[in-house]
Amino acid sequence: MVVTDLDGTLLDSRRQLGADNWRTLEELGRRGIIRVVSTGRSLFSALAALPPDTPIDYLCHSSGAGIVRWPAREPLRVINMSAADAALLTRELLARDVDFMLQLAIPDNHHFYAHRTRRPNADFERRHARYADYARALTQPLPDPLAMSQALVIEPPPGPGRHAELALALPGFQVIRTTSPLDGESTWVEIFPLGVNKAAAARWLRESLQQNALECVAIGNDYNDLDLLDWGGHSFVVGNAPAELRARYATVASNDDAGFSEAVRIALARI
């Protein structure tokens, strides 16, 4: 089973799936190797990036909170946050005075409530503008108790921002750091129900297929791939990954130079 991140890994910097990587996915299919895309994107956003004929078998979206069978888009697994947990998380984030978006439950998690501080935050505004048709201002408290999929805290550069602080303050949630796919500099802190991450989704998928002995290849490019990379039996990062990750995992070419395909070739030669 090959599990790959999407943006910055399988897709190039233009957010396109290049011909080399497309052919590699097709070859994996001919060999009977299970092909999984694992992305932080919502299902709505992932479907906008992946044509219906993309040669994959499964899509893990929302950092593993949802799994669908491809190409039928058949939902196999969904993990949402209870209304009580969503209310608790909202209070905690408001108390910490951060810019955040509270995403509705899957499959409607491209809709969100937004809370702004008074500090400048260009990346927050950029994402808000991109999904303006699905955005509502957060009232305090929420108008009705609602199940949610996640919260997304957006912090301007430089550095990891308050990720570590939030992880300590929210032990009942899964707190994941990633780099903004919009400006490549801001820190996004994704907060999910406890146990939601890319590795957990891949593990669940492998077990649901009753293929616990599968050799698993993991390919990523950013901090939200760490759990997946640690889980994979053969793990690689592309050359555009942060230096910290390149020092820790086998490194292949960048996403603009078909690093995904290179990682697959190396892994298949080892297996």
Residue-wise pLDDT tens digits, 209-259: 987 767 999 999 999 999 999 999 999 999 999 999 999 999 999 999 999
The Cα 60–Cα 4 span in angstroms is 10
- Would you give the distance in Å from CA 87 to the centre of its chain? 23
Do 216 and 185 fall into the same domain?
no
Do 15 and 95 fall into the same domain?
no
Do 136 and 221 fall into the same domain?
no
Q: Count the residues in the chain.
A: 271
pLDDT of residue 160: 78
The Cα 213–Cα 228 span in angstroms is 17
pLDDT > 70: what percent of the chain?
A: 98
pLDDT band at 158 (very low <50, low <70, confident <90, very high): confident
87 burial type by CB count under 10 A (0-12 exposed, 13-18 middle, 19+ buried): middle
Do 75 and 96 fall into the same domain?
no
Structural domain boundaries enclosing 22: 2-79+197-270
pLDDT of residue 62: 97
* Full-model pTM: 0.94
Residue-wise pLDDT tens digits, 98-152: 999 999 999 999 999 999 999 999 999 999 999 999 999 997 666 677 899 999 9
Residue 208 makes CB contacts below 8 A (sequence gap 6+) with: 76
pLDDT band at 15 (very low <50, low <70, confident <90, very high): very high
Do 189 and 93 fall into the same domain?
yes
Of 139, 162, 193, the position where a domain reaches its end is: 193
Do 71 and 105 fall into the same domain?
no
Question: Residue 18 corresponds to which tokens in the numbers above?
Answer: 């290049």
The Cα 111–Cα 226 span in angstroms is 27
Residue-wise pLDDT tens digits, 25-54: 999 999 999 999 999 999 999 999 999 999
Do 186 and 110 fall into the same domain?
yes
Do 133 and 181 fall into the same domain?
yes
Domain count of the fold of the chain:
2
Cα angle vertex 178, ends 217, 170, to 5°? 110
pLDDT of residue 143: 62
Residue 187 bridge partners (DSSP): 155, 179
Do 89 and 187 fall into the same domain?
yes
pLDDT of residue 142: 67
Do 26 and 157 fall into the same domain?
no
Residue 169 makes CB contacts below 8 A (sequence gap 6+) with: 92, 96
Of 132, 158, 193, the position where a domain reaches its end is: 193
pLDDT of residue 210: 83
Give 187-229 as a DSSP string. Answer: EEEEEEETT-SHHHHHHHHHHHTT-TT---EEEE-SGGGHHHH
| CATH value at residue 170 | 3.30.1240.10
Do 109 and 145 fall into the same domain?
yes
Residue-wise pLDDT tens digits, 82-106: 999 999 999 999 999 999 999 999 9
| CATH value at residue 68 | 3.40.50.1000
